[in-house]
Amino acid sequence: MKKLLMIALFFGAFLLIQAGSQIAKHVIVIGIDGMSPDGIINANTPVMDEMIKRGSHTMKARAVLPTSSSTNWASMIMGAGPEQHGITSNGWEPDDFILPPVVAGDNLLFPTIFSAIRNQKPEAEIATIYHWTGFGRLFEKDALNYDVTADSEYETTKLIEDYLSSKRPLFLFIQLDHVDGAGHHYGHGTKGYYRSVESADSLIGRIVQSTKDAGIFEETLFLVTSDHGGIGYGHGGETLEEMEIPFILYGKGVKQGHKISHPVYTYDNAATCAFALNIERPYAWIGRPVKSAFEGFESPKILNEKTFLSKPIIYPKKKFYDPAGGLFVDKNANVKIESVDENVEIRYTLDGSNPTKESKLYTGEFELSESAVLIAKTFRGDEESLIEKAYYRVIESGDGNGVKYNYYKGEEDAKWEYLPAFESMIPVKSGQVYEFRMNVIDHRESYYAISYDSYLQIDKTGEYKFYTASDDGSILYINGNEVINNDGNHGVIERSGSIELEEGRHKIRVTYYNGYGGAWLDAFYKGPGIAKQIIPANKLYLSK
Q: How confident is the model at residue 233 (pLDDT cuts 50, 70, 90)?
A: confident
pLDDT at 320: 83
Q: Say yes or no: 254 and 327 in one domain.
A: no
Least confident interval from 18-27, 244-253, 376-385, 430-439: 18-27
Does residue 410 carry a pLDDT above 70? yes
Q: Give me the mean pLDDT over the 175-196 stretch.
A: 96
**What is the SS3 assignment for 6?**
helix
In sequence order, the 6+-apart residues with CB closer than 8 A to the CB of 521 are 436, 437, 438, 439, 450, 468, 469, 470, 471, 474, 510, 512
Does residue 1 carry a pLDDT above 60? no
Give the global pTM: 0.85
Does residue 376 carry a pLDDT above 70? yes
Q: Using a pLDDT cut of 90, give the percent of the chain over it.
A: 85
Q: Give me the mean pLDDT over the 10-35 stretch.
A: 76
Q: How many residues does the chain have?
A: 544
Each residue's pLDDT tens digit, 114-148: 999 999 999 999 999 999 999 999 999 999 999 99
Contact 308, 323 (CB under 8 A): no
Q: Say yes or no: 407 and 390 in one domain.
A: no
Q: Give me the mean pLDDT over the 423-430 stretch.
A: 93
Which residues of 63-204 form beta strands (DSSP E)?
126-130, 146-149, 171-176
Domain presence at residue 65: yes
Does residue 106 carry a pLDDT above 80? no
CATH number at residue 525: 2.60.120.1560
Q: Say yes or no: 118 and 211 in one domain.
A: yes
**What is the SS3 assignment for 11?**
helix
Mean pLDDT of the chain: 93
Q: Say yes or no: 262 and 329 in one domain.
A: no
Task: Provide the β-strand partners of residue 418.
Answer: none
Q: Give me the mean pLDDT over the 306-332 stretch.
A: 91
Three-class SS of 100-124: CCCCCCCCCCCCCHHHHHHHHCCCC
CATH number at residue 360: 2.60.40.10
| Containing structural domain, residue 351 | 313-395
Q: Say yes or no: 361 and 484 in one domain.
A: no
Rounded CA separation 437/433 (Å): 9
Q: How many domains does the chain have?
A: 3
pLDDT at 127: 98
Domain presence at residue 17: no
Does residue 427 carry a pLDDT above 90? yes
User: 3-state DSSP: the chain helix, strand, coil percent, rounded to 5?
Assistant: 25, 35, 40
Domain final residue, candidates 395, 415, 443: 395
pLDDT at 135: 98
Q: How confident is the model at residue 498 (pLDDT cuts 50, 70, 90)?
A: very high
Domain presence at residue 9: no
pLDDT at 15: 42
Domain presence at residue 531: yes
Contact 313, 340 (CB under 8 A): yes
Q: Using a pLDDT cut of 70, give the percent of the chain over it.
A: 96
Domain final residue, candidates 293, 326, 348: 293
Does residue 282 carry a pLDDT above 70? yes
pLDDT at 416: 87
CA–CA distance from 60 to each of 36, 57, 240, 247, 321 (Å)? 10, 9, 9, 8, 21
Domain final residue, candidates 363, 395, 427: 395
Domain presence at residue 38: yes
Q: Say yes or no: 331 and 275 in one domain.
A: no
pLDDT at 7: 44
Q: How confident is the model at residue 426 (pLDDT cuts 50, 70, 90)?
A: very high
pLDDT at 12: 44
Contact 208, 47 (CB under 8 A): yes
Does residue 23 carry a pLDDT above 50? yes
Q: Say yes or no: 162 and 235 in one domain.
A: yes
245 φ, ψ (degrees, to nearest 5):
-135, 155
pLDDT at 306: 76
Q: Give me the mean pLDDT over the 43-66 stretch.
A: 98
Q: Give me the mean pLDDT over the 520-525 stretch.
A: 96
Rounded CA separation 354/362 (Å): 15
Domain presence at residue 390: yes
Query: How large is the C-alpha radius of gyration of the chain?
Result: 27
Does residue 11 carry a pLDDT above 70? no
Q: Say yes or no: 534 and 447 in one domain.
A: yes
Contact 160, 127 (CB under 8 A): no
pLDDT at 445: 84
Rounded to 5 degrees, what angle do the CA atoms 480, 484, 489 make?
120
Each residue's pLDDT tens digit, 320-358: 889 999 999 999 999 999 998 889 999 999 999 999 999
Q: How confident is the model at residue 20 (pLDDT cuts 50, 70, 90)?
A: low
* DSSP H stretches of helix in 222-374: 240-243, 268-276
Rounded CA separation 301/307 (Å): 12
Q: Give me the mean pLDDT over the 204-228 stretch.
A: 98
CATH number at residue 35: 3.40.720.10
90 φ, ψ (degrees, to nearest 5):
-70, -10
User: Within the chain, how many helices (H) and strands (E) appear?
Assistant: 11, 28
Rounded CA separation 445/123 (Å): 55
First to last CA, the chain: 95
144 φ, ψ (degrees, to nearest 5):
-110, 150
Q: Say yes or no: 94 and 56 in one domain.
A: yes
Longest dimension (CA), the chain: 97
Does residue 16 carry a pLDDT above 80? no
Q: Say yes or no: 420 and 374 in one domain.
A: no
Q: Give me the mean pLDDT over the 253-269 stretch.
A: 97
pLDDT at 433: 96
Domain presence at residue 172: yes
352 φ, ψ (degrees, to nearest 5):
85, 0
Does residue 297 carry a pLDDT above 60? yes
Of 255, 325, 269, nearest to 116 (Cα)? 269
Domain presence at residue 300: no
Residue 215 CA neighbour count, 13 Å, CB half: 2
Contact 347, 357 (CB under 8 A): yes
Q: How confident is the model at residue 308 (pLDDT cuts 50, 70, 90)?
A: confident
Q: Say yes or no: 391 and 408 in one domain.
A: no
pLDDT at 368: 96
Does residue 205 carry a pLDDT above 70? yes
Rounded to 5 degrees, what angle do the CA atoms 537, 539, 541 make?
85
Q: How confident is the model at residue 18 (pLDDT cuts 50, 70, 90)?
A: very low
Does residue 223 carry a pLDDT above 50? yes
Rounded CA separation 450/430 (Å): 9
Q: Say yes or no: 244 and 139 in one domain.
A: yes
